[in-house]
């Protein structure tokens, strides 16, 4: 039930796959239909519902896996984490590239900026490009990410949202890890966790 996003460069037909939690065949079919080559697999954080498709997608495409170093250890523990919820998934290969605050991800003529937004997990990141931000489980329409998992922290999450995401601008479209998209302005005004 997690959202996976494919961002592609129409000019050079290179793409990033953001949070391939599952349904690898559907992701591959979409890439093929759009004639896109996956250059990177970007994990906004290390929870199994967002990274469970890493192994199959990497095997099928050869794309490099990217994640923040604080969440990288989770990739080798996905089987146990999923089992705790009565589910199953494969452990991910280790990351090929570690992302930090201020890193950039370039595919084709597109450059995404990495923003470290911890709180839901220690290594949570958001990805910004041209009025769009992909936030994983940091922020939702009308809600925020859970902070009761290991490594989560409520005050850190609120600071990440207010100090790192709000300055991007009210019109920025927020693509969430679960549920519908929203905007920064909408969440500033109406999100009960964030309204001062």
- Three-state DSSP state, 18: strand
Q: What was the pLDDT predicted at 159?
A: 98
Please state the length of the chain: 196
Q: What was the pLDDT predicted at 95?
A: 98
pLDDT in tens, 109-143: 999 999 999 999 999 999 999 999 999 999 999 99
Strand-pair category, 182-183 with 173-176: antiparallel
Query: Could you tell me which of 64, 11, 60, 59 has the C-alpha nearest to residue 35?
Result: 11
Question: What is the C-alpha to C-alpha distance for residues 30 and 122, in angstroms, rounded to an integer?
Answer: 31
| Domains of the chain, residue spans | 5-190
**pLDDT over threshold 80, residue 191:** yes
Segment 79-92 shows an average pLDDT of 93
Q: Is residue 62 a contact partner of residue 68, using CB atoms and an 8 Å limit?
A: no
Segment 59-66 shows an average pLDDT of 98
Segment 73-86 shows an average pLDDT of 95
Question: What is the C-alpha to C-alpha distance for residues 134 and 5, in angstroms, rounded to an integer?
Answer: 9
- Mean pLDDT rounded to a whole number for the chain: 97
Taking each helix axis from N to C end, the angle separating 54-61 and 24-33, rounded to the nearest 10 degrees, works out to 40
- Dihedral of the CA atoms 3, 179, 73, 53 (nearest 10)? -20
Query: Could you tell me which of 50, 29, 32, 30 has the C-alpha nearest to residue 41?
Result: 50
Segment 48-65 shows an average pLDDT of 98
Confidence grade of residue 177 (pLDDT, cut at 50, 70, 90): very high
Question: What is the C-alpha to C-alpha distance for residues 71 and 79, in angstroms, rounded to an integer?
Answer: 15
Confidence grade of residue 196 (pLDDT, cut at 50, 70, 90): confident
Segment 80-88 shows an average pLDDT of 92
Max Cα–Cα distance, the chain, nearest Å: 47
pLDDT in tens, 18-56: 999 999 999 999 999 999 999 999 999 999 999 999 999
Query: Which CATH code for domain 5-190?
Result: 3.60.15.10
Strand-pair category, 173-176 with 132-136: parallel
Model pTM score:
0.97
């Amino acid at each position: 039930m997690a959202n996976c996003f494919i961002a592609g460069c129409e000019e050079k037909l290179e793409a990033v796959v953001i949070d391939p939690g599952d349904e690898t065949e559907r992701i591959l079919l979409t890439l093929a239909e759009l004639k896109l080559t996956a250059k990177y697999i970007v994990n906004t954080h290390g929870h199994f519902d967002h990274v469970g498709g890493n192994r199959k997608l990497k095997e099928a495409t050869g794309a490099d896996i990217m994640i923040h170093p604080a969440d990288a250890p989770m990739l080798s523990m996905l089987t146990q984490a999923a089992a705790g919820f009565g589910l199953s998934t494969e452990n991910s290969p280790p990351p090929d590239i570690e992302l930090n605050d201020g890193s950039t991800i370039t595919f084709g003529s597109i450059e995404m900026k990495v923003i470290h937004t911890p709180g839901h997990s220690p290594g949570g990141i958001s990805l910004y490009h041209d009025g769009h931000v992909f936030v994983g489980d940091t922020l939702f329409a009308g809600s925020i990410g859970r902070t009761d998992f290991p490594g989560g922290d409520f005050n850190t999450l609120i600071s990440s949202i207010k100090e790192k995401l709000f300055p991007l601008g009210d019109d920025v479209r927020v693509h969430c890890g679960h549920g519908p998209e929203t905007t920064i302005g909408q969440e500033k005004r109406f999100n009960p966790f964030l309204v001062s």
